[in-house]
Structure 1
Amino acid sequence: MHEPPTHVGDQDVLDTVRATWLPEADSVVHLPVGFGAHHWAASAAGERRLFVTLDVLGARDDADSLTSAYGAAAALAGDGLEFVHASLPPLTVPLADGLLSATPWVEGRRPERLDREATATMLARLHAAPAPDGIPHWRPLVGRDLSDDLAGRLRATWDGGPLSARAQAALRAHLPAIDVWVTRYHRLAEEAASRPGVPTHGEPDVHNQLVTEHGTLLVDWESLRLAPAERDLRALGAGGTMAEMFDLEWRLDEVQQYAVWFQQPHPGGADDLEAVEGLVEELGRPEWHEPTPLP
């Protein structure tokens, strides 16, 4: 997130880091990176040592599923998948309304564009790995009643903040399309439930890759699930109707989260602006299509 949380201070994070992973830590700095979770760099004697994450618990993740996902990622890394940048033990600790976790600090950069060949190689190894004990299983994220729920929310005028009107207008304009997407999503989700599952990252695009001097890492493993491989292959533009289903899942999950976001009070800051742009983009982008296969 771009803006620090209002309910958790840097000292709270530093105290938890010292008590849990790095007793010699002397500072933390909030990092304006990612979206959905908050991140800090924890340092000792002027050297960055840990990348610290505060995940918010909610409908998508509870404490058990989040800790299980991080634990399964650690098991995959321990079994030889060197590109899995896993959390340190203890995997999570409670802080405010979420869970704090930490990974070793690694110098690197986000790729400017997706290296399809390198990504495909990592995903092939991930999908071939034995599923770790306790890995969370994928389940549909969007209910069949999403369209009805949105229609009910949209009846009253939203006045939660400066971006409420824009978000509400965009949702109203696309409500018929959302209804079509939900129907197709659940038809395909029934098929997905009958398919074999493999370990999947869930979001293996450039936003969750870190290019280092030792190779490319996949980061942010909170979305790790046992699921059809197409959940990841969607990032490569491959996977047929199952990838289409996961593309619909991403779109509809974004829609339902942002609907709640902009119905509620919000100040209109940088995170709110990014969120409303994300909502408009998800509502208006083209339908799923499968580009040229990998060579």
Structure 2
Amino acid sequence: MKQRPPDISDRSLGDTLAAWGLRGPAPSWVPAGFGDHHWTMTGDDGRRWFLTVADLSDKPHCGPDISSARLGLRRAMDTAYALRALPFVVPPLRTADGATVVALGERYGVSVFPFTPGTPGRFGETRTAGERRLVLDLLATLHSTPPPPDIPPYRPDIPGRAALDAALSETGTPWNGGPYAEPARALIARHAPALRAVTAAFDRQAARPVGTPVVTHGEPHPGNVLRDGERRLLVDWDTTALAPPERDLWLVTDDPADLAHYARATGRTPDRDAMAFHRLRWDLDDTAAFLTWFRAPHAEDPDTAEAWAGLTTTVARLAA
């Protein structure tokens, strides 16, 4: 995120890091990513660490409330740790008690990762053919890996579906959350018929049976891939789940030659209808998350500006 949360102090974060035995200068906040908050730290032993602080009140894919989101995030981070033997997984560090997530107050959960060299991509950027093959090879290995016992289950529904349905039904009265509330209401009112049509199509597709699920990352877009020469590393494992492989594949490619390459590596032919379903699910999930944000109290800042740009782009794509 671009805005540091005001209710997390250097002292409280430092106290939490004691669970990992980490001591040193105060961590440095990093204005990066979208969703979680990040810091870096150099310990007294000279090693560097990357800290992720998740806002459990806004983690619907992990759970609908803080308590269940804490459990869901722990299961996801435990899964990433269990996959640590895979050379492209950047796993969390465990505490002396074996925890991969430690509470910071009631609202937040902290995970610690080794600081890993590499250059991240940018969400939405176009991958070259060579880059797509590197990521597909990585996913082929992941999808062929036996699932860890406590991997989170896949849910085809939209975590924020209730918020999306409520927004579609309440465009006739003012929204008062903040500066983007009324623009969001006008946007949804203008495209409400098209949005209702795509949600109905989503419901029909969600009822389709799926094949054998595999270990998926959930969000292997360029922003979650570190590039280090020819090596590619996957970060941000909070969305991992036992799910159809198309949940990952649509974010990488729709090129027939690429999909044939994946099929040769795994023995599984990607289902294009399933890829389209997961593409639609992503857009509806984002729309629900943005609307939840804008109907709640919010301010004008770089994060809400980015969310507004995301909402307008996503709604335009859904309504096309």
Task: Please list every run of at least 4 consecutive aligned residues from structure 1 whose deviation after the TM superposition is greater than 3 angstroms.
Answer: 45-48, 143-148
Cα distance change of structure 1 residues 16 and 172 upon mapping to structure 2, 3 Å threshold: same
Shift of 1:214: 7.4
Shift of 1:208: 0.2
Cα distance change of structure 1 residues 55 and 145 upon mapping to structure 2, 3 Å threshold: closer
- From 90, 93, 96, the equivalent of 2:102 is 93
Q: Deviations over 1:48-75 (max 9, x none)?
A: 6111111122432111211111111111
Q: Using the TM superposition, name which of 137-146 and 268-277 deviates more.
A: 137-146
Other structure's SS at 1:40 match: strand
* Correspondence 1:210 to 2:242: no
* Correspondence 1:182 to 2:187: no
Structure-1-length-normalised TM-score: 0.89
Structure-2-length-normalised TM-score: 0.83
Other structure's SS at 1:25 match: coil
The residue aligned with 1:14 is: 14
* Correspondence 1:163 to 2:163: no
Amino acid corresponding to residue 60 of structure 1 in structure 2: H
Instruction: For structure 1, list consecutive stretches of 5 or more residues without a partner in the other structure.
Output: 289-295
* Correspondence 1:272 to 2:301: no
Identical residues among aligned pairs (%): 32
Shift of 1:46: 9.8
Q: Using the TM superposition, name which of 269-278 and 63-72 deviates more.
A: 63-72
Structure 1 distance, partners of 2:235, 2:286, is: 21
Structure 2 distance, partners of 1:194, 1:118, is: 26
Cα distance change of structure 1 residues 28 and 174 upon mapping to structure 2, 3 Å threshold: same
* Correspondence 1:139 to 2:155: yes
Shift of 1:148: 3.7
Structure 2 distance, partners of 1:100, 1:42, is: 13
Structure 1 distance, partners of 2:183, 2:220, is: 30
Structure 2 distance, partners of 1:168, 1:10, is: 38
Structure 2 distance, partners of 1:237, 1:174, is: 28
How many residues align structurally? 284
Structure 1 distance, partners of 2:224, 2:46, is: 23
Structure 2 distance, partners of 1:207, 1:104, is: 18
- From 106, 116, 139, the equivalent of 1:106 is 116
Cα distance change of structure 1 residues 286 and 145 upon mapping to structure 2, 3 Å threshold: closer
User: Which structure 2 residues correspond to residues 1-295 of structure 1 after superposition, within 5 A?
Assistant: 1-17=1-17, 19-44=18-43, 49-57=48-56, 58-61=59-62, 62-78=69-85, 81-89=86-94, 90-96=99-105, 97-111=107-121, 113-114=126-127, 115-142=131-158, 148-191=165-208, 193-212=209-228, 215-238=231-254, 239-285=271-317
Other structure's SS at 1:221 match: coil
Q: Deviations over 1:104-144 (max 9, x none)?
A: 01122113653101011000000000011110111024277
